[in-house]
Amino acid sequence: MRLLLSEQNRCSTIELLWLVVIHRTESIPLNLVYNKSGFRIYPILFIKKFSFFQGRSGNFNTNASMQQTNIRGFTLIELIVTIGILAIILTIVVVAINPAEQLSRSRDAKRVADLDSMKTAWNLYLAQATTTIDLSAGTEAAVGCTGNTTTTYFISRTTPTSTGHVDGGATNASSSQSLGGAGWAPARIDQTPGGAAIPVLPIDPKGTGTTDDFYYAYACNENTDTFEFTARLESSYFRNDLDVDGTDGGNSAVSYETGSESGLDLVISGK
């Protein structure tokens, strides 16, 4: 046997027993390797032909060393660059989404749906009424449910005002959503056989303020039993892309109009 110094790890007990058996049966000279951890025995021939015992241990040690060496944190410059890139991406996303426009679209969608639902309720009332049709709860002489020459309308606001998206003073303004002639649009749709098609009168999603153009307007003609609803739209998508207010068949290119009046000219929208 020859005794050599080495810094290799100790072999396992199974490896050692296997080597001893090989040595006894085939008389292969042993290379006895000594290190700080103890003795390690290798067949010289086996080392020359198959060095995977040493190679395996060496690879394990090398990988562990590489893992320890490669672990490091971000530098200040890397963090600044990363934050800057994220800020740019966030800005692009916000501009593309345009949250304000999205909110305006949702309100416009509700406006169109509200006016269409009221149109359905009014048409059902006109078609099924078994009593005298009353589109303004008996107030037509005072408020203007008499034809397209009048300049007074019913609007869903808290106080009367002449400002807004309709021309002329609105002398009957109310935020009440009640049916039965007590709400802001006082047709007696509560007299529809089987009940009205809507539970309450809807109002503009922006509320019932008096300082903007966003409210619903209603006008009617008792002579022809016709009516019209109108609402101001605010989103670029509904006003420009879909052109909802310009293709509804009404006389205004700035408001959404619907109803049964021919030409939809009962409400004269000026803005």
Over residues 84-103, the pLDDT tens digits come to 999 899 888 877 778 888 89
Of 250 and 52, more confident: 250
Q: Is 250 helix (H, G, I), strand (E, B) or coil?
A: coil
Ordered by start, the domain boundaries in the chain are: 2-70, 103-259
Least confident of 123-132, 197-206, 212-221: 212-221
Q: Where are the alpha helices (DSSP H) in the chain?
A: 13-26, 44-49, 52-70, 76-97, 99-128, 140-143, 236
Task: Decide if 166 contacts 155 (C-beta within 8 A).
Answer: yes
- Identify the pLDDT of residue 219: 84
Distance CA 147, CA 40 (A): 112
The number of angstroms, rounded, from the C-alpha of 217 to the middle of its chain's C-alpha atoms is 30
Q: What pLDDT band is residue 12 in, cutting at 50, 70 and 90?
A: low
- The pLDDT tens digits for 14-33 are 555 555 555 555 554 545 44
Which one of 26-35, 169-178, 193-202, 237-246 scores highest in mean pLDDT? 193-202
Mean pLDDT for the chain overall: 71
Give DSSP secondary structure letters for 157-216: -SS-BS-SSBSS-B-EE-----TTTTSSS---GGGSTT--SSSS----TT-S-SSSS--E
Q: Which run of H or E residues covers position 135? A: none
